[in-house]
Chains A and B, each alone.
Chain A
Amino acid sequence: MTDVSERPERVPPIIKDTPEGADVWERVPWDAEMYGPVQDWATDIDHGRPEYNENAHQIWHDLRESGCPVAHSERYGGMWAPITHETVHEIAYDTENFTSRSVVVSHLRPGDLQLPAPIGGAPPITSDPPFHQVARRLLLPPFAPKQIEPWEDEVRTLCRGLLDAMGDVTPGETIIDGAVQYAQHIPVNVIGRMLGFPQEDEERFRGFVHDTLERINEDPNERSDSFQHLEMYIDDQIEDHIANPRDDLTSYLLDVEIEGNKLERDHVRGTIILLLIAGIDTTWSAIGSSLWHLAQHPDDRHRLADDPEVMDFALEEFLRAYAPVTMARLVAKDNDFHGCPMKKDDWVLLPFPAANRDPKQFEDAEGFIIDRQVNRHSAFGLGIHRCLGSNLARLELRIAIEEFVARFRDFELAGDVKWSIGQIRGPRVLPLRIL
């Protein structure tokens, strides 16, 4: 694999400065002082601060208790953050007032013409109706349950291999990292194979994910290189698949047609970026958070090990209580939302994980009920943008937990946990002592 960083002549025009008009990416003014520690989460919320994900459950609890259903911030050029089930749902279903043109809050906002609605940069997640449905329909079959179920044996083999690689374990002494040695490897391996990308590039994929989703609070001028490297890397893979078509998602996207026409290169590249980025740290985070929970709850650990059928419900409770994904929207037109004067192009965070812990929607919402019978959680979103990879994510999460508790009946936290930064919440460092 050629190092794409050595090929600056192929830098694609992803990020342009804005000489005039709002037809390209708008850079929101940035300086480090504007993005310092948060004093008041209701009026200055910033999910790009490390203390947000570290304390997310408490922050949402406190906002709800103080009667603040929608938090606000002047950061990122203006951002709203609904945190109740009611408000999150309302925005998820309202594609008229809220566009998906960009779903990652950052200091760069796409103008109307840069990413012409309704296609967007990474279809279908960045697409609005009516194009959204066309782009999504292409991707539904390869991620439908009956296409995903056959991956079970391979995922199980992968998980067992990772557990084997931890070597000899001395109960009471051995400390492993549940995020670094286990969770982070599982989804990246699977989506890399589905796309037909080289297995040795997994570390690079995690780098792309980190740059895209975690570095949102850093100097945007230092981030632009990473987007260019990502696009160049994908283009190299596309060229390789054009020369050597094979049975994988990349060749599928190059071959599939909309009304008799092959997809535009931008569409193929954008969709691959979506599948790669969205399919990695999301599930990695869900696996890590579930292990974090189990490390502190022996009863739940033992119930899973001794009563495997409870997994049908436990899986959904992990997803509800520790949903990793907060989406985002841009305000499409000025509107008054529950008394909030939302202006066109304001960001809106869509924290499904907060909605999942709203006591108005869930009984004992802040508890963990391993066999919860009524669980209409929205970990995978709601409405037309329901996570395309939800069947794959469920498969990976279920098998990762099954295999871990089968191997290690007892384990506990053994040091400081480091949580991710940004819209995807999960442990990035998770020291576990095997007991």
Chain B
Amino acid sequence: MRVHLDAGICQGHNRCYALAPAVFDVDEYGQAVQRIDDELPSELEARARLAAANCPEYAITLTD
């Protein structure tokens, strides 16, 4: 699984950082930053799914 964060859509709700801090960080403006561009380690997949399912702006997509 890979994650894709659309930084142009992110409004800094910080749900992804709260739910999946190993996958997402936040910058000094509170905007989400993707930590992992490559294939996710399988143990992080559930958290990445949660992050996507709780982003109010639909800024996160997951691909297999």
Chain A residues with CB under 8 Å of chain B are 137, 140-141, 143-146, 312, 316, 373-378, 380, 382-384, 386, 390-391
Contact B26 A144 (CB under 8 A): yes
Contact B11 A143 (CB under 8 A): no
Contact A383 B28 (CB under 8 A): no
A146 touches which one: B26, B31, B56 (CB < 8 A)? B26
A137 to B13, alpha carbons, bound, how many Å?
Answer: 15
Contact B26 A390 (CB under 8 A): no
Q: Which 6 A-B pairs have the closest CB atoms?
A: A144-B30, A386-B11, A140-B29, A374-B53, A376-B56, A141-B28
Contact B14 A145 (CB under 8 A): yes
A-B contacts, 14 listed (Cβ < 8 Å): A141-B30, A144-B27, A144-B28, A145-B14, A145-B17, A312-B19, A374-B53, A374-B54, A376-B53, A376-B55, A383-B57, A386-B11, A390-B13, A390-B14
- Rounded to whole Å, the gap between the CB of A334 and the closest CB of chain B is 28
Among A137, A144, A378, residue most surrounded by chain B Cβ atoms (within 10 Å):
A144
- Rounded to whole Å, the gap between the CB of A20 and the closest CB of chain B is 41
- Rounded to whole Å, the gap between the CB of A388 and the closest CB of chain B is 9
Nearest-CB residue, chain B, relative to A143: B30
Q: Does B50 make an interface contact (CB < 8 A)? A: yes
Q: Does B18 make an interface contact (CB < 8 A)? A: yes
Contact B30 A145 (CB under 8 A): yes
A141 touches which one: B13, B29, B56 (CB < 8 A)? B29
In the complex, per-residue mask of B41-64: 1 if CB is within 8 Å of any chain A CB, else 0: 000000000100111111000000
In the complex, per-residue mask of B6-33: 1 if CB is within 8 Å of any chain A CB, else 0: 0000011111011100000011111100
Q: Which residues of chain B come closer than 8 Å to A137, judged between CB atoms?
A: 29
Contact B56 A382 (CB under 8 A): yes
A378 to B13, alpha carbons, bound, how many Å?
Answer: 10
Q: Which residues of chain A come closer than 8 Å to B58, judged between CB atoms?
A: 376
A312 to B56, alpha carbons, bound, how many Å?
Answer: 16
Q: Which residues of chain A come closer than 8 Å to B17, judged between CB atoms?
A: 145
A145 to B12, alpha carbons, bound, how many Å?
Answer: 10
Contact A386 B29 (CB under 8 A): no
Given A376-B53, A390-B14, 15 more pairs with CB closer than 8 A = A140-B12, A140-B28, A141-B28, A144-B27, A144-B30, A145-B14, A146-B28, A312-B18, A376-B55, A380-B56, A382-B57, A383-B11, A383-B57, A386-B13, A390-B13
A386 to B57, alpha carbons, bound, how many Å?
Answer: 10
- Rounded to whole Å, the gap between the CB of A422 and the closest CB of chain B is 24
- Rounded to whole Å, the gap between the CB of B61 and the closest CB of chain A is 14
Q: Which residues of chain B come closer than 8 Å to A144, judged between CB atoms?
A: 12, 26-30
A391 touches which one: B14, B28, B56, B57 (CB < 8 A)? B14
Q: Which residues of chain A come closer than 8 Å to B15, judged between CB atoms?
A: 316
A140 to B32, alpha carbons, bound, how many Å?
Answer: 13
Q: Which residues of chain B come closer than 8 Å to A143, judged between CB atoms?
A: 30
Nearest-CB residue, chain B, relative to A141: B28
Q: Which residues of chain A come closer than 8 Å to B26, judged between CB atoms?
A: 144-146
Q: Which residues of chain B come closer than 8 Å to A380, judged between CB atoms?
A: 13, 56
- Rounded to whole Å, the gap between the CB of B45 and the closest CB of chain A is 14
Nearest-CB residue, chain A, relative to B57: A382
Q: Which residues of chain B come closer than 8 Å to A141, judged between CB atoms?
A: 28-30
- Rounded to whole Å, the gap between the CB of A398 and the closest CB of chain B is 10
Q: Would A375 and B30 be within 8 Å (CB), given that A382-B11, A386-B13, A390-B13 are in contact?
A: no
Nearest-CB residue, chain A, relative to B54: A375
Q: Which residues of chain A come closer than 8 Å to B11, judged between CB atoms?
A: 382-384, 386
A212 to B19, alpha carbons, bound, how many Å?
Answer: 36
Q: Which residues of chain A come closer than 8 Å to B19, judged between CB atoms?
A: 312
Q: Which residues of chain A come closer than 8 Å to B53, judged between CB atoms?
A: 373-376
A380 to B42, alpha carbons, bound, how many Å?
Answer: 32
A250 to B56, alpha carbons, bound, how many Å?
Answer: 31
